[in-house]
Amino acid sequence: MKKRTAKIIKDSKQRGEWAESVFMARAAENGLPVSKPSGDSSSFDCVVGRPGKFVAVQVKCTMVEMQNGKGYVCSVKKNNQTYCAGSFDFLAAYVIPEDAWYIVPAKLIRGLQSVCLCTTSSEAKYEQYREAWHLLREASGCGEATEEPVSEPEETRMGPGLTRMQGAMSYFRNYLEKGGR
């Protein structure tokens, strides 16, 4: 898979808003109903699920390489302070250069100011949460995705954006064929 270049959006607030929209698209591709509250004063960025069983998700992104070059540092604080217990249920951290999402239960990052992701060391604490969309499905009671995202052979793929778009279109086609259920 071709890696993203690190100079996507220079302004951190705009980059964060972009990451939230990427999260929403990726969640939909994975068969998850996702909504975004209006404004940005909530302690979470999105909710995943259906009435009666929502989970709150805080979205973060990073391009900051660790000094040793063996991973990326992702800040998990707001206004220079750690999040309070109960602020959200899951952290969705996007490592932009690797095009990788980490879906981490909030209890594992409580009190931390940053986490190290995409690490190549033997202490890769969060690697089990890479692309762990099933955690959001289980927590929200949404079950398994109805269809796997489309994956084309490397030689015919035009890039990760097109592949995700095709996966989303396949999901919605399947959804409509089943009568919107």
Domains of the chain, first to last: 12-145 (3.40.1350.10)
Q: Quote the Cα angle for 147-36-44, to 5°.
A: 110
What pLDDT sits at residue 7? Answer: 54
What pLDDT sits at residue 6? Answer: 47
The answer to whether 92 and 106 are in contact (CB under 8 A) is no
What is the DSSP pairing of strand 77-78 with strand 72-75? unpaired
What pLDDT sits at residue 169? Answer: 67
pTM (predicted TM-score) = 0.72
Q: What are phi and psi of 94, to 5 degrees?
A: -105, 120
Q: In 3-state terms, what secondary structure has residue 162? A: helix
- Residue whose C-alpha is closest to residue 30's, from 144, 180, 169: 144
Q: Which residue type occupies 78?
A: K
- For the chain (181 residues), the mean pLDDT of every run of 10, in chain order, is 58 86 92 85 83 89 84 86 87 91 93 85 82 93 57 49 65 67 59
